């Protein structure tokens, strides 16, 4: 038997406790031994809760209990979660978490600390909710060299964009609807400004390429500028507008990572990822393209991923494995990256500044494939003559 603890008895923490208890026989089978929830750290009391007897308010009760081998950090944030995680790893406890902010900001440091203590630091739940992604990338696909990883990584913005496409409503209306349904937070800035997706693509890129890609290196644009007119124009040419996080290696093995709304062509499988669902495509040398799809958030999907990491930490508690990634990524500015672009003005335009182009309407067009620096040079000239409302990359 292995004893574990949970820090933070909120939505995710309570889901993990319930799942480990309700599916005890499945967890025992997968882990090879029973997993016993011994303590739960939370500042609050939970009278009447089935796990109320496990609640403690003192972090030291976890840290100083040598029987606890794995701790699920479900607190969120980068202050206490960071401090507690460091103390636990240093004390030889494996830590598993859904905390994408913390992993994106301090992953390399925490992975190194875990390695030094001979324990695991795992965070499957930080990207794609319950969809297995980080585990398959590091184990099942471990013989592959990754060239690219990209996807729809934020359910809130995908719900809003899907809803704008289906209901002909503008952003504000769809955001309020998402908030009413609990799919968006009262303060949605982190989602709609693309920062949540940036954290997730930074984690995926770090794992794929073995070097920490910090969110500060991710070019980030959210969906605030997407209007219903863009969506209608996209549909008129068989595209969907999606917020895409993407990271790829350039020819010099530098990482180019960005988050932005894209025109996604219907031939790309991400075009069919709607509502709160997430979809991620991995491109690797041996396996080719593989795609993973499922619910990117929610109490039980996230709990499924945290519990999966508990199982992994129990199965392989400490080992000769190197850290999943280290510091030292070389970052590309993307100037050589080739895309097609959608450009929309508020007035009829002559798109010949871009040489190869297809008009979509009198005031909107799609460029041919061109390098970023070339596109931006031509855009500077174009803007001198025409007001530009939006410019989005196209994903084929």
What are the residues binding its own copies (CB under 8 A)?
19-20, 23, 26-27, 29-33, 124, 129-132, 135-136, 138-145, 210, 269, 272, 284-295, 298, 300-301, 303-305, 307-308, 310-312, 315-316, 319-322
Would you tell me how many other CB atoms lie within 10 Å of the CB of residue 150?
25
Name the burial class of residue 286, with classes exposed (0-12), middle (13-18) and buried (19+) by CB atoms within 10 angstroms of its CB: exposed
- CB of 131 or CB of 260, closer to its own copies: 131
- CB of 92 or CB of 135, closer to its own copies: 135
Q: Which residues contact 31 (CB under 8 A, 6 or more apart)?
A: 2, 310, 311, 314, 315
Distance of closest approach, residue 133 Cβ to its own copies, in angstroms? 9
Of 146, 274, 125, residue with least CA distance to 206:
146
Distance of closest approach, residue 217 Cβ to its own copies, in angstroms? 22
- CB of 327 or CB of 374, closer to its own copies: 327
- CB of 41 or CB of 270, closer to its own copies: 270
DSSP state of 384: H
Measure the CA–CA gap between 212 and 142, rounded to whole angstroms.
18
Radius of gyration of the chain (CA): 23
Residues marked as catalytic: 200
Distance of closest approach, residue 16 Cβ to its own copies, in angstroms? 9
Task: Pull the structure tokens for residue 137.
Answer: 């990338």
Question: What CA–CA distances, in Å, run from 50 to 7, 22, 208, 279, 337?
Answer: 16, 12, 40, 35, 54
Residue 371: beta bridge partners?
338
Are 347 and 386 a contacting pair, CB within 8 Å? yes
Distance of closest approach, residue 286 Cβ to its own copies, in angstroms? 4
Distance of closest approach, residue 202 Cβ to its own copies, in angstroms? 20
- CB of 135 or CB of 225, closer to its own copies: 135
């Amino acid at each position: 038997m292995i004893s574990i603890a949970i820090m933070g008895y909120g939505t995710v923490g309570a889901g993990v406790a319930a799942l480990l208890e309700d599916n005890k026989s499945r967890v025992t089978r997968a882990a090879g031994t029973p997993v016993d929830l011994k303590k739960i750290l939370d500042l609050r009391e939970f009278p009447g809760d089935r796990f109320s007897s496990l609640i403690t308010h003192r972090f030291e009760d976890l840290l100083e209990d040598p029987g606890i081998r794995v701790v699920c950090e479900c607190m969120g944030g980068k202050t206490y979660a960071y401090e507690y995680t460091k103390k636990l790893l240093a004390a030889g406890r494996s830590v598993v978490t859904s905390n994408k902010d913390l992993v994106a900001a301090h992953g390399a440091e925490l992975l190194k600390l875990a390695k030094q203590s001979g324990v695991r630091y795992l965070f499957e739940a930080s990207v794609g909710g319950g969809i297995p992604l980080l585990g398959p990338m590091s184990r099942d696909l471990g013989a592959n060299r990754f060239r690219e990883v990209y996807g729809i990584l934020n359910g809130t913005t995908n719900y809003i964009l899907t809803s704008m496409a289906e209901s002909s409503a503008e952003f504000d209306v769809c955001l309020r609807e998402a908030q009413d349904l609990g799919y968006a937070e009262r303060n949605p800035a982190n989602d709609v400004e693309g920062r949540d997706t940036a954290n997730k693509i930074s984690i995926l890129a770090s794992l794929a390429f073995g070097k920490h890609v910090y969110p500060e290196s991710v070019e980030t644009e959210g969906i605030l500028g997407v209007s219903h007119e863009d969506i209608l124009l996209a549909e008129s040419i068989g595209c969907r507008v999606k917020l895409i996080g993407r990271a790829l290696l350039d020819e010099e093995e530098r990482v180019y990572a960005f988050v932005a709304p894209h025109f996604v062509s219907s031939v790309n499988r991400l075009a069919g990822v709607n509502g709160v669902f997430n979809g991620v495509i991995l491109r690797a040398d041996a396996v080719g393209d593989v795609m993973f799809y499922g619910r990117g958030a929610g109490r039980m999907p996230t709990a499924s991923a945290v519990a999966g990491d508990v199982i992994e930490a129990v199965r392989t508690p400490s080992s000769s494995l190197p850290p999943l990634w280290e510091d030292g990524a070389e970052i590309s500015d993307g100037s050589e990256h080739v895309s097609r672009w959608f450009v929309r003005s508020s007035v009829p335009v002559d798109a010949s500044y871009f040489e190869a182009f297809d008009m979509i309407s009198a005031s909107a067009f799609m460029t041919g494939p061109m390098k970023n620096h070339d596109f931006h040079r031509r855009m500077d000239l174009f803007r001198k003559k025409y007001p530009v409302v939006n410019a989005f990359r196209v994903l084929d």
